[in-house]
Structure 1
Amino acid sequence: MSELRIAPVDGDAMMNDWRHVHNTIIPTAPLSPDDVRERVGRYRLDVAYLDDAAVGCATVRPPTDEEPAVTVIARILPAYRRRGFGRTLYEHGLALARELAADAPVETVVLASNEDGLRFALARGFVEIDRYVLPGDTIPFVTLRLG
């Protein structure tokens, strides 16, 4: 049986894998290659692979002066959900977040239409603290904080 392998984004092929997962799960806010390249410079981006297939992606955003929370986002493509991959990817991201800012609050962001993602976050103790809609969108993003 194959094991999930999680690796930091390194190079264009991995950026494309990360982008594919992101844009599949967040179709309302697709990112360009340049958007992802810019994020690689600011955040920790990882890709989860099963054999050679990208099945998920993660983002860990460090806290800033404006935003004191560390943000952990784990996304798994629908065809690969309910196999423990989301838990593994989330725990990986949470460990990285604790290395960056051990005492910072932990938040996540989920597109409101992603019912699986919301259930996943709520089951891990996150509580909703905010909703916002990007300009031109109609589906809100939900910000949740680990309780």
Structure 2
Amino acid sequence: VVAATQSLPIPDGVDMIQAAAIPETFFTVWANLFELGRARKGCTVLIHGGTSGIGTTALMLCKALGIKAFATAGSQEKCDRIRALGGEAIHYREVDFAQEIARQTHEKGVDVILDIMGGSYFESNVASLARRGRLVI
């Protein structure tokens, strides 16, 4: 038994397995990008892993909330999927994402980075942040 405030209705046409995935991705993105990262309308964000479950959810929420989102991917097909979700795709195997962020933001950088990849991106992430930008790992 769960409290009504901690449950959500299952949308029509969504089976139990699909429904189980909704809170995982949406709550993860909301907690990290919007609560910890404080992304709001007018912000720019960079999402690593733009075609993952977390990445696609982040892109959809950014589009719905009027937030400009860049997202990284490693193939042209994945970059096309990012664009279809309303994001600005960065093919990290063809361009350095930090240089591309600098170019596209006119050296300003992004306000928030959601990095579900971690590791070797740290220095490039810091270089991609705007002044007072937030990196959520």
TM-score by length of 1: 0.31
Bigger CA radius of gyration: 2
Identify the structure with the greater strand proportion.
1
Query: Which protein has greater RCO, CA pairs closer than 8 Å, 6+ apart?
Result: 2
